[in-house]
Amino acid sequence: MIRRTIRDIAAMIGADHATDLPETSVQGVCTDTRTVTPGALFVPIRGPRFNGHHYAADALAKGAAAALWEKGEPGRPDHPAVIEVDDALAALQRLAREYRRQIGATVIGITGSNGKTSTKDMLAALLSTTFRTHKTNGNLNNHLGVPLTLLGMEENTEMAVVEMGMSALGEIAALATIAEPDAAIITSVSEVHLGDLGTRERIVQAKLEIVGPLRPGGLLAYCGDYPQLEEEIGRSGFRGKRIAYGVQPSNELRPLHWRADDSGFAFVLDEREPDKFAAPIHGRHQMVNALGAIAVARHFGVPEQSIREGLYGAALSGLRNEVVRVGECLILNDAYKSNPASVRAALQTLYDFRKPKRKIAVLGDMVELGEESEQLHRDLGRELDPGRIDLVVTVGASAARMGEEAVPRFGADRVAICADKEQAIARLLRETLDDCVVLLKGSRVLGLESIEQALRDKGAVGR
Is 459 annotated to bind a ligand? Reply is no
- Residue 317's closest CA among 454, 120, 159? 120
3-state SS of 204-215 is HHHHHHHCCCCC
- Residue 178's closest CA among 113, 95, 240, 296? 95
Rounded Cα gap, residues 370 and 176, in angstroms: 27
In 62-183, which residue ranges form alpha helices assigned H by DSSP?
88-103, 116-128, 145-151, 171-179
Is 116 annotated to bind a ligand? Reply is yes
Is 114 annotated to bind a ligand? Reply is yes
Q: Give me the DSSP letters along 207-271.
A: HGGGTTTPPTT-EEEEETT-HHHHHHHHHHT--SEEEEESSSTT-SB--SEEEEETTEEEEESBT
Residue 141: other Cβ atoms inside 10 A: 23
Whether 441 and 421 have beta carbons less than 8 Å apart is answered as: no
Q: Give me the DSSP letters along 398-450.
A: THHHHHHHHHHHH-GGGEEEESSHHHHHHHHTTS--TTEEEEEE--GGG-THH
- Residue 99's closest CA among 170, 166, 28? 28
Q: How far, in whole angstroms, is CA 255 from its chain's centroid?
A: 24
- Residue 350's closest CA among 21, 120, 358, 34? 358
Is 283 annotated to bind a ligand? Reply is no
Is 263 annotated to bind a ligand? Reply is no
Is 251 annotated to bind a ligand? Reply is no
Rounded Cα gap, residues 412 and 416, in angstroms: 8
Question: Helices 373-383 & 340-352, crossing angle to 10 degrees?
Answer: 10
Is 321 annotated to bind a ligand? Reply is no
Whether 26 and 99 have beta carbons less than 8 Å apart is answered as: no
Rounded Cα gap, residues 193 and 206, in angstroms: 10
Q: What is the DSSP letter of 102?
A: H
How, if at all, do strands 219-223 and 241-245 pair? Answer: parallel
DSSP helix/strand/coil, 119: helix
Annotated binding site for ATP: 112-118
Q: Which residue ranges are tagged as binding site?
A: 112-118
